[in-house]
Structure 1
Amino acid sequence: MTTIVTSDKSIMTHAQPSRSLLRDVRIVMTRELKPVLRDPFTLLFGMIQPLVFLALFGPLLSGSMGGTFGDRVWQWFVPSILVMTMLFGTSTTGANLLFEFQTGAHERMLVTPLSRSSLLIGRALKEMVPLFGQAVIVIAVMTPFAFDLYVGGALVGLALLAVFGVGLGSFSYALAIAVRKQDWMFWVVQQTFLFPLMILSGMLLPLETGPGWMRVASKFNPLSYLVDAERTLFSGDVWSSAVLWGWVAALVTVTLGLTVGIRSMLRSAG
């Protein structure tokens, strides 16, 4: 009779190496950026688009609100343009996903070892790369026109926009999954929510002179806290309570967005 003795050392288990979330995000982000870099005209147009808003809307704002803000109109309005650019960019993250549903690219991404959260974060951060370029151009153009640059506040402000943008992009991703069989619904829902959020945030016009119900509604709008925080940061005040509330709104948005987005992704893959 032969006795076979096995030991734990004789049993070799080969676990897959743990992947880094940052590495996965970089892979997804690079993949999403390649088509953009191959189309320089679209990239160039996106870079100058905020300047068009400044050129057309800025003089009207200066004329109607110059008495209220004096020479601080641009300090009030430039951060709004950057928030609006982030809003338009990250809220359309799901639009590219709808195209990938048609080509089957999304399903191929789901079978890769990439973490599910990296698919959301990488796509949303891809929209932030043009935003950073736009911010540099806007600041460079507006600095000679009574816009004061506070580098520390500006850097914190851009980081805050990136965090909020990841959350918003994740919601856009979940929306695309929900309406994948009726893709026209994506734009209906996106625009139905987008413009009320903009108006009720005081992004383009101050709400102080508006009706009471709008001021109350703005308290429940996370975007209003982000706008206030950005204006405070771009004025050089990094430690204001407005900045704290802006980070709270951004962290709540990114937490809820990633939770909803990842759950939607897992259900769609099931």
Structure 2
Amino acid sequence: MKLIRDTWLVYARQLGLVIRQPTWVFIMLIQPLYYLILFGPLLNGLEGMPGFEAGAMETFVPGLVIMMAMFGTLFSGFGLIAEIREGVIERFRVTPISRLALLLGRSLRDVTTLVFQALILVLLSSPIGGLTIYWDGLALMMLIVIGIGLALSAASYGVAIVLKSEDALAPLLNTVTQPVLLLSGIMLPMALAPDWLQTVAKFNPFAYAVDAARALFNGDLASNAIWQAAVFIGALMLLLVFWSARKFSRAAA
């Protein structure tokens, strides 16, 4: 019960900061909207090709939501570095608050913001791109978004505590995210890729998340990609939260 109470206290404080300064919540929507408006129409001519059987927007938007889940939470650690520099984490050493709650409260704040942004993007995709929304699948897809958000938010905070420098964090994240993004099939389905690239993509857990999101978004609730994504993203989330929690415990011990 103490962990739940402490997590709620940290979450409420962090969410309050977002509510008082909501500008960044909407700024983070700008890049996905650019892709939707300026890149999405380029895919209309690909309908019927491998990976686009359900339609251009029905294929592209779920991938765009997964991209938002990745990039919307992976860079959360920059804010923590500022708090470390200002001595915020240091001051928690004299408080009885759970060290795990320090991580979970922040990550849940990031996930709450992410879900709000993802829903806004999907709702805007209907009038802008002519997207047909399958609501049951969308609700289940949000569970994948939450899992990715928790995993990458926790990872970002853990790495931030280790590096303690924006100059080191930025190039590291960019180096890691670029191949993960390209091998996930977010921009174009991996069905269009050569066999060797599809084989490499099988080692990328986010590729399963993208496939599952597309299946759910189009009402294919029996797709194998769904349980595969649940296994890989769930395991990744538990691993990264556990690792980051240890880093938090040591930093605030």
Q: With structure 2 as the length reference, what TM-score do the two structures score?
A: 0.90
In the alignment, what sits opposite 1:131? 114
Q: Is structure 2 residue 65 aligned with structure 1 residue 79? A: no
Aligned match of 1:122: 105
Provide the secondary structure at the position in 2 that maps to 1:264: helix
Which residue number corresponds to residue 19 of structure 1? 2
Which of 47, 54, 66 is the aligned partner of 1:66? Answer: 47
2:216 counterpart residue number:
233
Indicate conservation of the 8 Å contact 2:48/2:55, yes or no.
Answer: no
| Pair 1:185 & 2:177 matched | no
CA RMSD of aligned residues (A): 2.0
Q: Distance in 2 between matches of 1:19 and 1:44?
A: 34
CA contact (8 A) 2:138 2:217 kept: yes
**Equivalence map 1:116-265=2 (5 Å):** 116-144=99-127, 145-180=129-164, 182-265=165-248
Identity of aligned residues (%): 35
Asked whether the equivalents of residues 29 and 125 of structure 1 are also in contact (C-alpha less than 8 Å), the reply is yes
Contiguous gaps of at least 5 residues in structure 1:
1-17
Instruction: Say if 1:229 and 1:109 are closer, same or farther in 2 by CA, change over 3 A.
Output: farther
Equivalents in 2 of 1:55, 1:258: separation in Å? 35
Residue in 2 aligned with 1:8?
none
Query: How far, CA to CA, are the matches of 2:133 and 2:93 in structure 1?
Result: 43
Q: Give the Å deviation of 1:67.
A: 4.2
Q: Describe the superposition over 1:111-152 as per-residue Cα deviations: whole angstroms up to 9, x where unpaired.
A: 433323322222222222232222332222223444222222
User: Residue in 2 aligned with 1:15?
Assistant: none
Q: For each residue in 1:175-230, what CA deviation from the matched residue of structure 2 results, as whole angstroms up to 9, or x when unmatched?
A: 111111x4311011111001111100111112223233321221111111111111
Query: Which ranges in structure 2 are unaligned for 5 or more consecutive residues?
Result: none
Bigger-Rg structure (1/2) = 1
CA distance in 1, matches of 2:134, 2:33: 20
Shift of 1:161: 1.1
What's the offset of the Cα at 1:110? 4.5
Contact 1:72 1:146 in 2 (8 A): no
Tell me how far apart the structure 2 counterparts of residues 156 and 109 of structure 1 sit (CA, whole Å). 37
Q: Which has the higher contact order (CA 8 A, sep 6+)?
A: 2
Q: 160-169 or 133-142: which moved more?
A: 133-142
Q: CA deviation at 1:232?
A: 1.1
Cα distance 1:164–1:66, how it changes in 2: closer, same or farther (>3 A)? same
Is 2:14 aligned against 1:32? Answer: yes
**1:215–1:267 Cα change, 3 Å:** same
What is the number of equivalent residue pairs in this alignment?
A: 250
Amino acid at match of 2:143: A
